[in-house]
């Protein structure tokens, strides 16, 4: 009697969609066309189109190499490096709230902070829902799905005006949001739209959260990178932290963009307690719960990136050097926004393009449709997210005219673009 071929346990496993950004990056790398342009990945590049390790980071790395600390590969505590965490807290919060209201753990950059925070709130706050902006960073939705909290969306982007839809956001939250709902807010340089509330709008959002008992969850991925001014970029977080009566909230923090530590995964998660949650017992319980989550998932965070961040933040001279380089990066992004806008206007490209210069940060929501994006990719080898979001960091003085002329060609001859 012949043996029966075994059936794999995984034969009927569904295949989830691939992450589009990483798929785009792979397609770009396989493309050999001399004019190919990568406008998908959120990684800062210089005007030559090359990665730009910050000089201050290189200096710290050289000093670390010379020191050759024998403990440089040791484990850290599960909750992370306390010196790094204190400096990271000060960088974000400054003097916005008392230190005893803050409890922090080190994470695997911003993604890890978002996930640890989402799981922590799912298990402790047990919110009925989480509110995400429409649109938002794609990983937000995946993270909150993973922890089992129902997702609702608040309006954010008005496709017709290509502006932040403050009125629609507030109307939806006023009508539908309930006490203990979590609301995820982008601290600055909203991803993917590049559109942020102004300070008066932030104040109104804070008042709504305070009045309705919502739990703000700030994603702080671009502090200092967005405007070149870390204090300006942290304004919303600090305003919420100063509200009275106090609002409990949390912050996911990343040093990937502002220090260029993408692959070294330096980040932190901060919990801000109400005034009656400041006792050592409460803070110890928060850390213990967060540490249990971290231990079960990845045990401890990487130390190389956080060691670099600690060295920079712990030195006045190195911090000043870093702030100068933040200005360099943000200024180049702003100049590329202006260059793309100027070229589209010079060409007479159909449509209004003022939103490109009105937005801030690494990304621009261009208003390009999926068929247009697909056509640009296949015909001009320009790699753009299907939403029409582009990474301004991928533009430089050598390719911006090519990109603008391709967009002009697509917009000027819509009949040439196959429908989706």
pLDDT at residue 42 in the model: 82
Mean pLDDT of the chain: 93
Please say if 137 is a catalytic residue.
Answer: yes
Confidence band of 182 (pLDDT split at 50, 70, 90): very high
> Is the pLDDT at 75 greater than 70, yes or no?
yes
Q: Which of 52, 137, 144, 353 is catalytic?
A: 137
Confidence band of 4 (pLDDT split at 50, 70, 90): low
pLDDT at residue 358 in the model: 93
Please say if 310 is a catalytic residue.
Answer: no
pLDDT at residue 30 in the model: 94
Tens of pLDDT along 121-133? Answer: 999 999 999 999 9
Lowest mean pLDDT among 190-194, 200-204, 413-417: 413-417
pLDDT at residue 257 in the model: 95
Region 165-184 average pLDDT = 97
Tens of pLDDT along 220-238? Answer: 999 999 999 999 999 999 9
> Is the pLDDT at 10 greater than 90, yes or no?
no
Written as six digits, the tokens of 241 are 């932290």
pLDDT at residue 21 in the model: 82
> Is the pLDDT at 321 greater than 60, yes or no?
yes
pLDDT at residue 79 in the model: 95
Written as six digits, the tokens of 336 are 């590329």
Region 240-251 average pLDDT = 94
Tens of pLDDT along 380-420? Answer: 999 999 989 999 999 999 999 999 999 999 999 888 788 75
Tens of pLDDT along 339-382? Answer: 999 999 999 999 899 999 999 999 999 999 999 999 999 999 99
* CA distance to 201, 303, 311, 343, per residue, from 265 (Å): 32, 9, 16, 37
Enumerate residues 6+ apart whose C-beta is below 8 A from 273. 101, 102, 103, 248, 282, 283, 286
Region 310-333 average pLDDT = 96
pLDDT at residue 8 in the model: 86
Q: What pTM did the predictor assign?
A: 0.93
* CA distance to 45, 67, 252, 318, per residue, from 309 (Å): 20, 17, 16, 10
Kindly list the structural domains of the chain, giving each domain's residue range(s) and its CATH number in brackets, ordered by start. Answer: 20-53+327-416 (3.90.1150.10), 75-314 (3.40.640.10)
Kindly state the percentage of the chain with pLDDT values over 90. Answer: 80
Confidence band of 7 (pLDDT split at 50, 70, 90): confident
> Is the pLDDT at 1 greater than 60, yes or no?
no
> Is the pLDDT at 14 greater than 60, yes or no?
yes
Handedness of CA 232, 335, 407, 381 (dihedral sign): negative
Q: Which of 131, 165, 181, 257 is catalytic?
A: 257
Q: Which of 81, 165, 181, 219 is catalytic?
A: 219
Confidence band of 329 (pLDDT split at 50, 70, 90): very high
Tens of pLDDT along 29-69? Answer: 999 999 999 998 888 999 999 999 999 999 999 999 999 88
Confidence band of 277 (pLDDT split at 50, 70, 90): low
pLDDT at residue 420 in the model: 59
> CA torsion, points 281, 212, 112, 228, in degrees to nearest 10?
-110
Confidence band of 2 (pLDDT split at 50, 70, 90): low
pLDDT at residue 19 in the model: 81
* Pairing label, strands 157-158, 163-164: antiparallel
Please say if 257 is a catalytic residue.
Answer: yes
């Amino acid at each position: 009697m012949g043996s029966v071929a075994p059936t794999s346990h995984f034969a009927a496993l569904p295949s989830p969609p691939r992450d589009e950004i990483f798929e785009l990056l792979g397609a770009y790398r396989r493309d050999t066309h001399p004019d190919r342009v990568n406008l998908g990945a959120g990684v800062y590049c210089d005007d030559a189109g090359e990665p730009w390790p910050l000089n201050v980071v290189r200096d710290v790395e050289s000093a670390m190499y010379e020191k050759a600390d024998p403990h440089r590969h040791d484990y850290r505590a599960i909750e992370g490096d306390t010196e790094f965490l204190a400096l990271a807290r000060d960088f974000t919060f400054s003097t916005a709230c008392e230190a005893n209201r803050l409890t922090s753990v080190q994470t695997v950059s911003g993604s890890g902070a978002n996930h640890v925070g989402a799981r922590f709130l799912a298990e402790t706050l047990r919110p009925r829902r989480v509110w995400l902006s429409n649109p938002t960073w794609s990983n937000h939705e995946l993270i909150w799905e993973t922890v089992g909290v129902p997702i609702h969306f608040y309006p954010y982007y008005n496709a017709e005006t290509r502006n932040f839809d403050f009125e629609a956001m507030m109307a939806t939250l006023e009508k539908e949001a309930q006490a203990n709902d979590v609301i995820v807010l982008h601290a600055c340089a909203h991803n993917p739209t590049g559109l942020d509330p102004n300070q008066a709008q932030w104040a109104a959002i804070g008042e709504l959260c305070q009045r309705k008992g919502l739990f703000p969850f700030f994603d702080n991925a671009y502090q200092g990178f967005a405007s070149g001014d870390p204090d300006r970029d942290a304004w919303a977080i600090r305003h919420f932290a100063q509200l009275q009566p106090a609002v409990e909230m949390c912050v996911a923090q990343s040093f990937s963009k502002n220090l260029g530590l993408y692959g070294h995964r330096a980040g932190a998660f901060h919990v801000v307690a109400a005034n009656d949650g400041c006792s050592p017992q409460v803070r110890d319980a928060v850390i213990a719960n967060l540490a249990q989550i971290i231990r079960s998932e990845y045990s401890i965070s990487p130390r190389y990136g956080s060691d670099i961040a600690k060295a920079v933040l712990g030195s006045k001279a190195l911090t000043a050097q870093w702030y100068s380089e933040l200005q360099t990066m943000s200024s180049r992004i702003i100049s590329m926004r202006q260059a793309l806008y100027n070229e589209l206007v010079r060409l007479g490209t159909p449509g209004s393009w003022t939103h490109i210069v009105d937005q801030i940060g690494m990304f621009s929501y261009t208003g390009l449709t999926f068929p247009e994006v697909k056509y640009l990719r296949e015909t001009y080898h320009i790699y753009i997210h299907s939403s029409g979001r582009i990474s301004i960091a991928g533009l430089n003085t050598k390719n911006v005219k090519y990109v603008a002329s391709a967009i002009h060609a697509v917009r000027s001859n819509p009949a040439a673009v196959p429908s989706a």
